Amino acid sequence: DAEITQSPRHKITETGRQVTLACHQTWNHNNMFWYRQDLGHGLRLIHYSYGVHDTNKGEVSDGYSVSRSNTEDLPLTLESAASSQTSVYFCASSVRGAETQYFGPGTRLLVL
Amino acid sequence: GENVEQHPSTLSVQEGDSAVIKCTYSDSASNYFPWYKQELGKRPQLIIDIRSNVGEKKDQRIAVTLNKTAKHFSLHITETQPEDSAVYFCAASTTSGTYKYIFGTGTRLKVLA
């Protein structure tokens, strides 16, 4: 079955380290999104992409980067992890021209 | 900037009663409004959505209403059951054609048996 997966599901890292979170979807969706979820803030958009080689900043993009080299994957990189980036990260995707987003299972990241 | 306000932040109801969650958005160009349910430790899952050309939509015990003039929309759950207990998020697709969401901060619904 087509799906959207994230890895790792849990990650502990130290401040200053580079971390990459993977997101992979097999629906052939053009649109992909990264959110972080924190208590009291809901889900906030970090970066998004409408297709290969397209990336855009969301409302909380500082300290994060993405690249889109194929349709299936949108990895999220924390260039130098900070304790403020401790959060649950969700990837989502949607069909080109459609609004409905489908979420991955999430990655829980702890930065010590 | 673009904003979605959601109220209440927590809501407790007796099993069988109705629950109503309200959201207000700021971007008048928003034209798509989904509602997601998130159970503890799980991913958000779409339960219902509405587009700006429709005033109300129902799916069994769930309904959503939209008032474009006032820029607010609401989720109504009737005959609540314990399995309805979860966090509910509203969202607005901010500008037509961008497919970005701005989410509300969530409502924790507890259905008391």
Q: Which tens digits make up the pLDDT trace of B42-51?
A: 999 999 999 8
Which residue of chain A has the CA closest to B92? A99
| B103·A99 Cβ contact <8 A | no
Neighbouring residues of B4: CB distance < 8 A, sequence distance ≥ 6: B23, B24, B25, B26, B90, B91, B92, B102, B103, B104
Confidence of residue A43 (pLDDT cuts 50, 70, 90): very high
Residues B29, B96 contacting (CB under 8 angstroms): yes
pLDDT confidence of residue B1: 67
Q: What pLDDT sits at residue A32?
A: 96
A chain contacts of residue B23, beta-carbon cutoff 8 Å: none
pLDDT of B5-18, one tens digit each? 999 999 999 999 99
Task: Point out the residue among A41, A45, A48 whose CB comes nearest to the CB of B105.
Answer: A41
Of the candidates A38, A51, A40, the residue with the CA atom closest to the CA atom of residue A90:
A38
- Residues B103, A90: C-beta atoms closer than 8 Å: no
Check whether B95 has a pLDDT greater than 60: no
| CA-closest candidate to residue A83, choices A110, A45, A43 | A110
- Looking at residue B36, its pLDDT comes to 97
Q: Which helix (H) or strand (E) holds B111?
A: strand B107-112
